[in-house]
Amino acid sequence: MPDTGVRAARTTVPVRRRARFELHPGAWWLWSLGLGTAATRTTNPLLLALLMAVAGYVVAVHRSSAPWARSYTAFAKLAVAVLLIRLAFTAVLGSPVPGTHVLFTLPEIPLPAWAQGIRLGGPVSAEALLFSGYNGLKLAALLVCVGAANALASPAKLLKSLPGALYEAGVAVVVALTFAPHLIADVQRLRAARRLRGRPDRGVRGLFQVGLPVLEGALERSVALAAAMDARGYGRTAEVPAPVRRTTSALTLGGLLGVCAGTYGLLTAEGGVYGMPVLAAGALAALAGLRLGGRRSARTRYRPAPWGVRAWLVAGSGGAVAALLALASVRDSGALHPGVVPLAAPALPLWPAATILLGLLPVLVVPQDRKEPS
Is the separation of the CB atoms in 40 and 142 below 8 Å? yes
The pLDDT score that the predictor gives to residue 357 is 93
Please give the pLDDT value at position 294.
63
Closest to 152 (Cα-Cα) out of 76, 78, 65, 80: 65
* Helices 25-39 + 45-62 axis angle, to 10: 170
Task: For residue 144, give the nearest of 87, 80, 85 by alpha carbon.
Answer: 80
Predicted confidence at residue 14, as pLDDT, reads: 45
Helix axis angle, 126-152 relative to 25-39, nearest 10°?
Answer: 170
Tell me the pLDDT of the chain (374 aa) as tens digits.
444 444 444 444 444 444 445 788 888 988 998 999 899 888 999 999 999 999 999 999 988 877 767 778 889 999 999 999 999 988 888 777 877 888 888 887 777 777 666 778 788 888 888 988 999 999 999 999 999 988 888 766 776 666 666 666 666 666 666 666 677 777 777 778 877 877 776 766 666 677 777 777 777 776 777 677 667 666 566 676 777 777 877 887 888 888 888 777 766 655 556 767 887 888 888 778 777 766 666 666 666 667 888 889 999 999 999 889 988 888 888 888 888 888 888 888 898 999 999 999 999 988 876 443 33
The residues, ordered by sequence, that sit 6+ positions from 93 with a Cβ below 8 Å of its Cβ are: 118, 119, 120
Is the distance from CB of 103 to CB of 129 less than 8 angstroms?
A: yes
Q: What secondary structure does DSSP assign to 264-311, as a single string?
A: HHHHSSTTTTTHHHHHHHHHHHHHHHHHHHGGGB----SSPPP--HHH
Beta bridge partners of 122: 106
- Predicted confidence at residue 242, as pLDDT, reads 75
Helix (H) or strand (E) holding 109: strand 102-109
Run of H or E residues at 106: strand 102-109
Yes or no: say if 47 and 347 are a contact pair by the CB < 8 Å rule.
no
